[in-house]
């Protein structure tokens, strides 16, 4: 298993993972827009095959997790936790005081993973995400890092 920076050449593989793992996958345009200097994007590879990835951004004193995704056929193997740990380490390496993320209120598995890694609910955005029933809330979650730096 190897975690390495994502390259633009990895976009087709990560879009394929997005398409099967998410009901509302990111578009190619959104993915392309996340390859600027302020982003840190990593993929988890086994035998050169991309199994999961995350997109992070660091601005001033905080980092934000924009997307974390593991191919659905590899769920339940701890890969999401491995990627989240890597994101937290990369945030701390950049001297981030806090790490932030947003998650669908209905995504109990993701919320459990984030809480297991120390994230706490810091707010709620009402009717933020579209879903089959219309709209659902986004939970804003924060992990204070300044005490661990």
Q: Is 39 a catalytic residue?
A: no
Q: Is 102 a catalytic residue?
A: yes
Among 18, 42, 54, 114, the active-site one is: 114
Find all residues with CB under 8 Å of 7, minimum gap 6, and list them. Answer: none
Instruction: Output DSSP code: residue 107.
Output: -
Among 39, 62, 98, 102, the active-site one is: 102
What's the Cα-to-Cα distance from 27 to each of 19, 70, 99, rounded to whole Å? 9, 17, 24
Bridge partners (DSSP) listed for residue 129: 136
What's the Cα-to-Cα distance from 105 to each of 5, 13, 48, 123, 146, rounded to whole Å? 29, 28, 34, 11, 27
With tokens 């593989």, the residue in question is 13
Active site residues: 102, 114
């Amino acid at each position: 298993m190897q975690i390495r920076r994502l390259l633009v050449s990895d976009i087709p593989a990560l879009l394929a993972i997005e398409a099967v793992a998410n009901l509302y996958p990111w578009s190619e345009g959104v993915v392309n827009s996340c390859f600027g200097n302020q982003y840190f994007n990593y993929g988890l590879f086994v035998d050169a095959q991309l199994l999961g990835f995350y997109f992070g951004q660091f601005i001033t004193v905080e980092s934000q997790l924009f997307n974390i995704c593991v191919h659905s056929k590899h769920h339940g193997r701890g890969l999401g936790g491995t990627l989240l740990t890597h994101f937290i380490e990369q945030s701390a390496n950049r001297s981030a005081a806090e790490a932030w993320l947003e998650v669908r209120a209905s995504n109990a598995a993701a919320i459990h993973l984030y809480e297991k890694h120390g994230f706490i609910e810091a707010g709620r955005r009402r009717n933020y995400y579209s879903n089959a029933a219309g709209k659902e809330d986004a939970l804003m979650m924060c992990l204070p890092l300044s005490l661990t730096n």
